Structure 1
Amino acid sequence: MDRYSRTVAILRVLLPLSALAILATLFLFSRSQDQVATIPFTEADVTARTKGQQVTHPFFSGTTAKGEEIIVTADSARPGSDTTPGDADNLSARLKTAGGQLITLRSDSGTLASAGDMARFTGNVRIKTSAGLEMLTEVLNAALDGISGNAPGTVTGSGPMGDFTAGSMAFSAKSGDGDLHMLFKNGVKLIYDPKQLER
Structure 2
Amino acid sequence: MARFDNPYSKFVAFAKIALPLASLVLLATLFLFARDRDTSLSIPYADVDIETLAREQRVEGPSFATVTRDGSELEISADLVRPDLSTEDVVNSNAVRGALRMPDNGSVTLKADDGVIDGPSQIAELSGHVEIETSTGYTITSNRIATMLDVSRIESPGNVDATGPAGDLTAGSMVISQDAETEDYLLVFKGGVKLVYQP
Q: Normalized against structure 1, the TM-score is what?
A: 0.72
Q: Is the 8 A contact 1:168 1:184 kept in 2?
A: yes
Q: Is the 8 A contact 1:137 1:156 kept in 2?
A: yes
The correspondence for 1:148, drawn from 153, 158, 168, is 153
Q: Hey, what does 2:111 align to over in structure 1?
A: 106
Q: Residue 56 and residue 189 in structure 1: after superposition, are their counterparts in 2 closer, same or farther (change >3 A)?
A: same
| Partner-residue secondary structure (3-state), 1:112 | strand
Q: Normalized against structure 2, the TM-score is what?
A: 0.72
166-175 or 68-77, which deviates more: 166-175
In the TM superposition, residue 82 of structure 1 has moved relative to its aligned partner by 5.9
In the TM superposition, residue 39 of structure 1 has moved relative to its aligned partner by 8.4
Q: Hey, what does 2:56 align to over in structure 1?
A: 52
The correspondence for 2:81, drawn from 77, 83, 89, is 77
In the TM superposition, residue 182 of structure 1 has moved relative to its aligned partner by 1.8
Q: Percent identity?
A: 31
Q: Which runs of 5+ in 1 are unaligned?
A: 1-33, 195-199
**Structural RMSD (CA):** 2.1
Separation (CA, whole Å) in 2 of partners of 1:101 and 1:93: 14
Q: Which runs of 5+ in 2 are unaligned?
A: 1-38
Q: Residue 181 and residue 137 in structure 1: after superposition, are their counterparts in 2 closer, same or farther (change >3 A)?
A: same
Separation (CA, whole Å) in 1 of partners of 2:186 and 2:108: 11
Is residue 126 from structure 1 mapped to residue 135 from structure 2 by the alignment? Answer: no
Q: Is the 8 A contact 1:101 1:179 kept in 2?
A: no
| Partner-residue secondary structure (3-state), 1:74 | strand
In the TM superposition, residue 50 of structure 1 has moved relative to its aligned partner by 2.9
Separation (CA, whole Å) in 2 of partners of 1:71 and 1:49: 27
Q: Hey, what does 1:190 align to over in structure 2?
A: 195
Q: Is the 8 A contact 1:97 1:179 kept in 2?
A: no
| Partner-residue secondary structure (3-state), 1:50 | helix
| Partner-residue secondary structure (3-state), 1:75 | strand
In the TM superposition, residue 47 of structure 1 has moved relative to its aligned partner by 4.3
More helix by share: 1
Q: Is the 8 A contact 1:98 1:179 kept in 2?
A: no
In the TM superposition, residue 131 of structure 1 has moved relative to its aligned partner by 0.3
Q: Hey, what does 2:120 align to over in structure 1?
A: 115
Instruction: Give the paired residue count.
Output: 158
Q: Which string of whole-angstrom CA distances, capped at 9 and with x for unpartnered residues, describes residues 96-152 of structure 1?
A: 112111011110111110111110111110000000000110100100111102111
What one-letter code is carried by the residue in structure 1 that aligns with 2:183? G
Q: Hey, what does 1:168 align to over in structure 2?
A: 173
Q: Residue 138 and residue 147 in structure 1: after superposition, are their counterparts in 2 closer, same or farther (change >3 A)?
A: same
